[in-house]
Amino acid sequence: MSILTDQNRSYYNLTELKTDSDNRSMASKTPVGFIGLGNMGRPMAKNLLRNGYPVIATDVFPESRKELQDLGAQVFDTPADVAEKADRILTMLPSSPNVIEVYTGANGILKKVKKGTLLIDSSTIDPAVSREMAVAAEKMGAVFMDAPVSGGVGAASLAKLTFMVGGPKEEYQAAQELLTCMGANVVYCGAVGTGQAAKICNNMLLAIGMIGTAETMNLGIRLGLDPKLLAQILNMSSGRCWSSDSYNPVPGVMEGVPSGNNYQGGFGTTLMAKDLGLAQSTATNTKTPVPLGSLAHQIYRVMCARGYANKDFSSVFQFLREEEGQ
Amino acid sequence: MSILTDQNRSYYNLTELKTDSDNRSMASKTPVGFIGLGNMGRPMAKNLLRNGYPVIATDVFPESRKELQDLGAQVFDTPADVAEKADRILTMLPSSPNVIEVYTGANGILKKVKKGTLLIDSSTIDPAVSREMAVAAEKMGAVFMDAPVSGGVGAASLAKLTFMVGGPKEEYQAAQELLTCMGANVVYCGAVGTGQAAKICNNMLLAIGMIGTAETMNLGIRLGLDPKLLAQILNMSSGRCWSSDSYNPVPGVMEGVPSGNNYQGGFGTTLMAKDLGLAQSTATNTKTPVPLGSLAHQIYRVMCARGYANKDFSSVFQFLREEEGQ
Amino acid sequence: MSILTDQNRSYYNLTELKTDSDNRSMASKTPVGFIGLGNMGRPMAKNLLRNGYPVIATDVFPESRKELQDLGAQVFDTPADVAEKADRILTMLPSSPNVIEVYTGANGILKKVKKGTLLIDSSTIDPAVSREMAVAAEKMGAVFMDAPVSGGVGAASLAKLTFMVGGPKEEYQAAQELLTCMGANVVYCGAVGTGQAAKICNNMLLAIGMIGTAETMNLGIRLGLDPKLLAQILNMSSGRCWSSDSYNPVPGVMEGVPSGNNYQGGFGTTLMAKDLGLAQSTATNTKTPVPLGSLAHQIYRVMCARGYANKDFSSVFQFLREEEGQ
Amino acid sequence: MSILTDQNRSYYNLTELKTDSDNRSMASKTPVGFIGLGNMGRPMAKNLLRNGYPVIATDVFPESRKELQDLGAQVFDTPADVAEKADRILTMLPSSPNVIEVYTGANGILKKVKKGTLLIDSSTIDPAVSREMAVAAEKMGAVFMDAPVSGGVGAASLAKLTFMVGGPKEEYQAAQELLTCMGANVVYCGAVGTGQAAKICNNMLLAIGMIGTAETMNLGIRLGLDPKLLAQILNMSSGRCWSSDSYNPVPGVMEGVPSGNNYQGGFGTTLMAKDLGLAQSTATNTKTPVPLGSLAHQIYRVMCARGYANKDFSSVFQFLREEEGQ
């Protein structure tokens, strides 16, 4: 399930955001490098193959490489090897240290990158690291863009991801050509790092809205309001937010959301805690006060410590409710 | 400006919430009592007069009584006097102690209330006080309903308020007949006190969403994002909320909202702090954890102490930003 | 175990706080009323008996009355009955509504109180309620003082309580005469309500210090510091507080505190949550920002909901730690 | 003024912490390198000179180098130059990036460090960076220790600093020999990084205690308590902390602290915000929940944005109070 759900549909009507896949020539495509074949990277790389791009891939785990190889990708041992063969490379990695290693490590991309190569990093990391990578790439004559995604494994498989892209405007079209093979929406955000910034900002506000909705619904129920009626009132009023109208955390209020399925599926608390940690670090580094974002981070961090790590992040409703029998 | 703005339009399509003013007989109306002729009460009472209801009114301030008298209302000295003359009485008072005094004081309504009188309190107060008043009224054979409003002085003048009503279901229609003279929307919320509960819940989530939006927009701007673009991205994504898409706190992002007018007009910080105080007390009394609501309360409380008391509550964006020259 | 432990010893050296029990005549004592014979009230009343005061008591529970009767007290059915017989009355009740009922209810003290009676309330309640009771008592020609206690059941049994007293200075000596039979320390705080204020303030800062110590110790341990060494460093430095040096929440750092006994005994989380609720209400009513006090309240409220209600309040260390196996 | 004040005196009685300056040979001392001659580094380097150590120094600012040169130090252009000449080097730098540059940069210490060199970093930085530097130093055959200080410019001038030291136990004595020339207390904390950890932990708890004291004192005053009496009660009770008994933030309660001097001098809000940022980053990286520490960070961050950057951190009392005329 995607964090960005039906609401995204409106994207398609926004001319400036529209992608134009018709112009892409389907013949004689040059190979695309792909580094990081995890839960997200694998389906993304497959979608490149499906769109007719030869893929040159690597991953630290041989079995991940093997799977792509079986689907027709050419696989190599190191990022540097990939950089020798491809002049457009995507990376999809778990965290900042991995990105630093894959780009600037002993066998990193930048050891062998060709001049003019387009490097697109879809990892969710600190925007300051994105900017560092961009500087390092530029020294080698290459271009680095950040393009983190919204949407989970399902959206990756269905090529329904949303990409938020930061980097030089003049390279955006080239990036967009590849990203539209893997996502339904591609948004240009500005200079390098702003893709990360947009994702971090969205997820911080999302967390605040979700916890706020959970405590508000809980309070209303304690005060004698019917949860469905309360949700209806909020959604017609100024309390309305995505968590109240599209992903309500109270079991029984909405269908098709994790709260109706014992908080299985969806976007895990541990992932939200990670994104809030990035928001916190970024805010700390830029000396920006984020009082609610900071408290939201702490709440999800405590939840991770109290058995909610793998539940959907809307389980904060359950966390705040009184236990049975108390 | 109303807290509940354009979004309310959808109200009109909700059959169960629709008011039916056509059935109201415009002739031979019995008088309606009105107690509390302040900034909100005065225009509300006027709308009753406009709808052909004789009004029997009082207020602690003689000049407020005088103004209504000049418009054709009959005025008396005390709530008890009004209770002797009217069997439907509305009250619109600043806070819980005023409500307690007007209903149960030495010259209060309940000293002289007639059996079967319908008492409707539109003050925003602690739902526990509403329930106490209902019990006291019942002892005298009267019926008490709580019906707090959303919308400010402008909405009161234009009869565009939203009423959230709690009390016996069988009395709701009678209350609705009067309330539709003063408001565009009337929502039945359940037992007595639930009208207050709904209002308190909405405003708590509103405050959380507003502070969250302010800190998120501030963080994004610091990270190099264009504010309009960031608002656009949030509003298409899961960070979306009323404060981001209908009342954005960043100057220049939207038109026709207080952020574009130096935070003049709108819903004052001091009023938001009052409502959050009610939410906090209610949560404390029901032992409900409301971590973000509680911190939102503290932030608006500090703002009141630092010169923001009379600015619109979206000025939290300004409060959190770094000062010029820092 | 008392919240105020060894540190209190210094009390004895403070001349202005010294109690002078020698002047009390031990003969021909007039009776003292005692209302509220719960876990705290019972041992307090017994200490009055031990000091030679005839006790006239009541409680809503007949079995509590019976126990005192067997020890020599005269018992009656209602507070009004006690008020008829005694001109010095102590009350020890669970919360504000009980105090209001016992003083101003249909069979309350004030129905039959004699002019000149000294009323001392040792309940922990909202100072605003204390002030209301004082006004009501004054109307009947009686004097009301608030005198909440620090120290639990053990301290009550051993007459080691600390009383914080608010009320007319000229009545303080009379109050002190009785209170020194039940406590080791009696502190005069000022006008009526200031006893409650002092207790609420102390416990709010105590909660903040405890949670702060818990999270600091936890962070230090995660960063590789030995807990005993970290406590030693903090206690020699500016991080020092009562929770770090006298009641450390980390098992193994100190002996004789609840953290060494699986957080049994001590001061329960649910009691701390109650006191923080009072602090919160008081702060809300006086429009005082208390950001950390407010968050501390929320944390203890969540803990109550998650199984920590009956553990000592230092168990917040355990609450914040990562669970086994995570 | 030192954050660690009179309380430190007890240090001297702790045998395991006692420094033994008698064993230091005062003749034929080998030179000591010193990098970072800012407000803190300059007086520290002077104290080495005063103790008879030849000093070999550098700084990015020529005028800072000049001042030390005039006092008898030998100065060089780069850290690498210093590393060539000295086998014991101290560094005192503003933040993590400076430390990384000075150690691992193009002209950094590690470019020319001699095998067996003892490197002592007194900067306050992220313990993870300390550990990285230790690994990098070890690769070159050198030993890195972290030794951040408590105490400000005054304590540095008077050689009254407190050093918290992390690193190999077997190197501690050699480090201690130098550090005792500049400080009154040297505490061994454990493996490399634990010196930073101890400092960060202390300052986080200090900030929590200070804000807690400020809001508690403010609440008590609002409730009618005399500030001096309230401080006295807290300090005899479980609310006691360093900020209440040794550095009270309320003007007039204590003498000789910044609150009595319009919050001039002392430990600036901006420095506290920096240390809380480090605590926050460290907690985020180790997935440790620090709810009050996190909120304290946000409060000091907002204060920096609202004109309190250069006031002592106890000015949070002033920040939370209502403004004149409100």
Q: What is the pLDDT of residues C72-118, one digit of tens each?
A: 999 999 999 999 999 999 999 999 999 999 999 999 999 999 999 99
C-alpha A19/C-alpha A15 separation (Å) is 9
Chain B residues inside the 8 Å CB shell of C298: 289-291, 294
Chain A residues inside the 8 Å CB shell of D296: none
Place of tokens 């313990």: D127
Cβ-contact D253, C25 below 8 angstroms: no
Cβ-contact D112, D80 below 8 angstroms: yes
Structure tokens at B282: 């209610």
Partner chains of B (3+ C-beta pairs under 8 Å): A, C, D
Shortest CB distance from B292 goes to which of A200, A233, A292? A292
Closest among B313, B290, B291 to B303, alpha carbons compared: B313
CATH number, domain at A171?
3.40.50.720
Assigned domain for C308 exists: yes
Q: What total of structural domains would you count in chain D?
A: 2
Average pLDDT, chain A: 90
Average pLDDT, chain D: 90
Q: Mark whether B169 and B284 lie in a shared domain.
A: no
Cβ-contact C150, C164 below 8 angstroms: yes
Q: Judge whether residue D21 has pLDDT over 50.
A: no
Assigned domain for A326 exists: no
Q: Mark whether B162 and B229 lie in a shared domain.
A: no
Q: Among residues C46, C199, C274, C311, which one is catalytic?
A: C199
Q: How confident is the model at residue D28, as a pLDDT?
A: 67
Assigned domain for B1 exists: no
Q: What is the pLDDT of residues C42-80, one digit of tens each?
A: 999 999 999 999 999 999 999 999 999 999 999 999 999
Shortest CB distance from A224 goes to which of B191, B213, B292? B191
Q: Is A305 helix (H, G, I), strand (E, B) or coil?
A: helix
Q: Judge whether residue B180 has pLDDT over 50.
A: yes
Q: Is A227 helix (H, G, I), strand (E, B) or coil?
A: helix
Place of tokens 């006691």: D240
Q: Judge whether residue C18 has pLDDT over 50.
A: no
Q: How confident is the model at residue C157, as a pLDDT?
A: 94
Q: Mark whether C175 and C250 lie in a shared domain.
A: no
Closest among B211, B224, D126 to A282, alpha carbons compared: B224
Chain A residues inside the 8 Å CB shell of B243: 238
Q: How confident is the model at residue C152, as a pLDDT?
A: 84
Q: Mark whether D67 and D167 lie in a shared domain.
A: yes
Q: Of the residues D159, D190, D221, which one is the last residue of a structural domain?
A: D190
C-alpha C99/C-alpha B263 separation (Å) is 45
**Distance between the two ends of chain B, CA-based, in angstroms?**
34
CATH number, domain at A217?
1.10.1040.10
Q: Judge whether residue C326 has pLDDT over 70.
A: no
User: B296 pLDDT band (50/70/90 cuts)?
Assistant: very high
Interface of D with A (CB under 8 A): 273, 277, 280-281, 284-285, 287-291, 294-295, 297-299, 301-302, 304-305
Q: Mark whether A46 and A76 lie in a shared domain.
A: yes
Assigned domain for A1 exists: no
C-alpha D58/C-alpha D86 separation (Å) is 12
Shortest CB distance from A216 goes to which of B205, B215, B243? B205
Q: Mark whether B94 and B164 lie in a shared domain.
A: yes
User: C13 pLDDT band (50/70/90 cuts)?
Assistant: very low
C-alpha D159/C-alpha D21 separation (Å) is 13
ipTM of the complex in this document:
0.88
Cβ-contact B192, B145 below 8 angstroms: yes
Chain A residues inside the 8 Å CB shell of C302: 319-320
Interface of D with B (CB under 8 A): 295, 302, 304-307, 309, 319-323, 326
Q: Mark whether C10 and C113 lie in a shared domain.
A: yes
User: Among A23-37, B11-25, B170-184, C195-209, whose mean pLDDT is lowest?
Assistant: B11-25
Q: What is the pLDDT of residues A259-290, one digit of tens each?
A: 999 999 889 999 999 999 999 999 999 999 99
Non-local CB neighbours of A174 within 8 Å, separated by 6+ positions: A88, A118
| CB-based contact C241 D205, cutoff 8 Å | yes
**How many interface pairs between B and D have CB atoms less than 8 angstroms apart?**
30
Shortest CB distance from D290 goes to which of A285, A298, A299? A298
| pLDDT cut 90: percent of chain A above it | 87
| pLDDT cut 90: percent of chain C above it | 87
Chain D residues inside the 8 Å CB shell of B326: 304-305, 307, 309
Q: How confident is the model at residue B151, as a pLDDT?
A: 85
Cβ-contact D317, D257 below 8 angstroms: no
Q: Among residues D46, D160, D199, D311, which one is catalytic?
A: D199
Q: Of the residues D190, D223, D241, which one is the last residue of a structural domain?
A: D190
Cβ-contact A53, A78 below 8 angstroms: no
Q: Mark whether C43 and C183 lie in a shared domain.
A: yes
Most B CBs within 10 Å, among C104, C200, C204, C284, to test the B interface: C284
| pLDDT cut 70: percent of chain B above it | 90
Assigned domain for C326 exists: no
Q: Mark whether D98 and D157 lie in a shared domain.
A: yes
Q: Amino acid letter at B153?
A: V
Assigned domain for D1 exists: no
Q: Judge whether residue D324 has pLDDT over 50.
A: no
Q: Judge whether residue D63 has pLDDT over 70.
A: yes
Place of tokens 């670090």: A281
Q: Which helix (H) or strand (E) holds D183?
A: strand D183-190
Q: Mark whether A78 and A155 lie in a shared domain.
A: yes
Structure tokens at D180: 């005792």
Closest among C128, C271, C125, C287 to C207, alpha carbons compared: C271
Active site residue C199: yes
Q: Amino acid letter at D86?
A: A
| CB-based contact D204 C223, cutoff 8 Å | no
Domain of C126? 6-191
Q: How confident is the model at residue C202, as a pLDDT?
A: 97
Q: How confident is the model at residue D29, as a pLDDT?
A: 85
Assigned domain for C41 exists: yes
Q: What is the pLDDT of residues C167-183, one digit of tens each?
A: 999 999 999 999 999 99
Chain A residues inside the 8 Å CB shell of B165: none
Q: How confident is the model at residue C322, as a pLDDT?
A: 67
Q: What is the pLDDT of residues D105-143, one digit of tens each?
A: 999 999 999 999 999 999 999 999 999 999 999 999 999
Q: Mark whether A80 and A219 lie in a shared domain.
A: no
| CB-based contact A241 B237, cutoff 8 Å | no
Shortest CB distance from A294 goes to which of D281, D295, D305? D295
Non-local CB neighbours of A118 within 8 Å, separated by 6+ positions: A87, A88, A89, A142, A143, A145, A171, A174, A175
Q: How confident is the model at residue A272, as a pLDDT?
A: 96
Q: Judge whether residue B212 has pLDDT over 50.
A: yes
Assigned domain for B34 exists: yes
Q: Judge whether residue B16 has pLDDT over 80.
A: no
Q: Of the residues A125, A156, A191, which one is the last residue of a structural domain?
A: A191
Q: Mark whether C236 and C149 lie in a shared domain.
A: no
